[in-house]
């Protein structure tokens, strides 16, 4: 087996309007699908960010129920020439950067929280080879 990529990443929000406001209005991710009080899905390049209401998704039979609580982490990749532009845009939009890391391989990435407390990282293309 050889996997090509992770196609979907899932977060859980009881208040999906907060997810919409943050990921669509602020980060400008296009909406792929939305069902009020159930889910909202966003396009991120070739991947999809799924945001489910855990109170709804835990009772599903098909697809299988899933839910969780806590602070999740995922990273969004930008082209290397847009990394600094993206960082400045995040700050301009009033999103607090909570950490910036300079990695041993010379790359830098930065982190911020979404309204659900999840930790979002922005990485430049090429960071993982």
Contact 122, 74 (CB under 8 A): no
Mean pLDDT along residues 112-122: 97
Q: Which of 48, 37, 102, 38 is nearest to 74 (CA)?
A: 48
Which pLDDT tens digit goes with each residue over 45-67? Answer: 999 999 999 999 999 999 898 98
Beta sheet of 108-113, edge-to-edge order: 73-78, 119-124, 108-113, 97-102
Whether the per-residue pLDDT at 3 is higher than 80: the answer is no
Q: Note the pLDDT of residue 49.
A: 97
For the chain, domains (ranges, CATH) are: 1-60 (3.10.180.10), 70-129 (3.10.180.10)
């Amino acid at each position: 087996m050889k996997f090509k990529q992770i196609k979907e990443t899932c977060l859980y929000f009881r208040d999906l309007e907060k997810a919409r406001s943050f990921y669509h209005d602020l980060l400008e991710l296009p909406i792929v699908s939305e069902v009020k009080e159930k889910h909202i899905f966003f396009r991120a390049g070739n991947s999809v960010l799924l945001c489910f209401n855990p109170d709804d998704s835990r009772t599903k039979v098909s697809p299988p129920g899933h839910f969780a609580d806590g602070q999740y982490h995922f990273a969004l990749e930008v082209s290397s020439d847009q990394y600094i532009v993206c960082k400045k845009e995040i700050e301009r939009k009033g999103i607090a950067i909570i950490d910036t890391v300079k990695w041993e391989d010379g790359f830098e990435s930065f982190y911020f929280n979404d309204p659900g407390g999840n930790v979002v990282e922005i990485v430049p293309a090429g960071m993982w080879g």
